Homo-oligomer: A and B are copies of this chain.
């Protein structure tokens, strides 16, 4: 999978990310890939750092996500280190996988002079293969901890990604200046076998683990949980948020504290930016599509409808063909198994009205629609009934290249 051309939807370059006081990193090569490339990222956080995570809801899970859940629970979020490898997901590997995960973290903890229980772990790669932790143990001595170089860190966790993904922000908590920097990899389950969407976000704010968890869960819902490339939810997905506490933030006891408003907005922007970069790197993608749903019974129902539209093969192939095939969108709304009012259904492409009140619109203009569909970024908005439920999701098109990449991978 080396040498994939960069996605046509890639950003123009890697952004300037702020330094986060209290975070160091090293990259290395364990050799999980046949070709030369870094496949290890080790992070050390300063004492006092607090962390929170959200993890895949795939029932199979993986050794590293299982580890993180128990470690964050056992230490109440007092994390000091993070070891990430690309090339082996260490998922569906039973007790042998758990033991290999733990041994790799013991070795990393020793190098970082922290407790093993303070280590977090993330793996991405082939499902069903037990992690060969001896490769990691051999690589660790060669890795030098230093201030984080974000582009290199983001590149070290890539698998079939065609560009490294980063996003940062600065904001205020009370009078204190606070910085946020995040990196991500993957594209849902579109990376073949590389069943992973991973994101790691760091801030120098001083925030407790429960507050981090609350903020992350809330903002994750409209960012990573609002993207889909192919509906195939990975066994290894995780988003981890670390707060080093090095910014001069006055103590905050409650996630609802108004002083967090600016931070919450900044975190939201960073997570959404990373999530959309993942869609931009969707395998074979040539279109970035925003789907808005309104008029649903509630927000969850709106999201289920948005997801059905975003994951419909017929909608996605029509978009690949630059076909404003609104009938397929109506079909997808109808098959969502959500309460909808057929005679109130409307469909818009950008500002162009295709259907309104359960029928084709009188303003329907095929030529204008066709012209609109040629853009690389599209917005589809649907009304499904009289309710107040709304949702927005992001997806990409389904092209022959997706089939090619995912059909040819292991062979």
Contacts and interface: CB of A to CB of B under 8 A. Distances in A.
Interface of A: 57-61, 91-94, 96, 126-129, 189, 192-193, 195, 230-235, 311-314, 317-318, 320-323, 325-328, 330-340, 342-343, 345, 355, 357-360, 370, 398-400, 402-404, 406-411
A323 B399 contact: no
Contacts of A328: 127, 193, 195, 232
5 contacts: A61-B334, A128-B360, A189-B314, A317-B407, A318-B409
B407 A92 contact: no
B60 A331 contact: yes
A252 to B, nearest CB: 36
Given A128-B326, A128-B330, A313 B314 contact: no
Contacts of A234: 331
A399 B406 CA distance: 10
A399 B410 contact: no
Contact of A330 (B129, B235, B358, B407): B235
Contacts of A335: 57-59, 232-233
Contact of A333 (B60, B192, B360, B409): B60
B331 A235 contact: yes
Given A317-B406, A399-B403, 10 more contacts: A59-B338, A60-B331, A60-B340, A61-B334, A92-B355, A128-B360, A321-B406, A321-B407, A370-B411, A402-B403
B331 A127 contact: yes
Contacts of A327: 91-92, 126-128, 193, 195
Nearest to A193: B327
Contact of A325 (B193, B230, B342, B355): B193
A128 B337 CA distance: 20
Contacts of A230: 313-314
Nearest to A126: B327
A94 B358 CA distance: 6
Given A232-B331, A232-B335, A321 B408 contact: yes
Given A92-B359, A193-B325, A313-B232, A334 B404 contact: no
A96 B406 CA distance: 44
A53 to B, nearest CB: 18
B92 A318 contact: no
A353 to B, nearest CB: 13
A387 to B, nearest CB: 14
Given A94-B343, A234-B331, A335-B233, A411 B60 contact: no
Contact of A404 (B59, B92, B192, B400): B400
Closest A-B pairs by Cβ, 9 of them: A321-B407, A127-B327, A60-B334, A317-B406, A58-B334, A233-B335, A400-B400, A230-B313, A94-B359
B334 A231 contact: no
Interface-centre pick from A91, A126, A235, A314 (highest chain B CB count, 10 A): A314
B345 A60 contact: yes
A126 B326 CA distance: 11
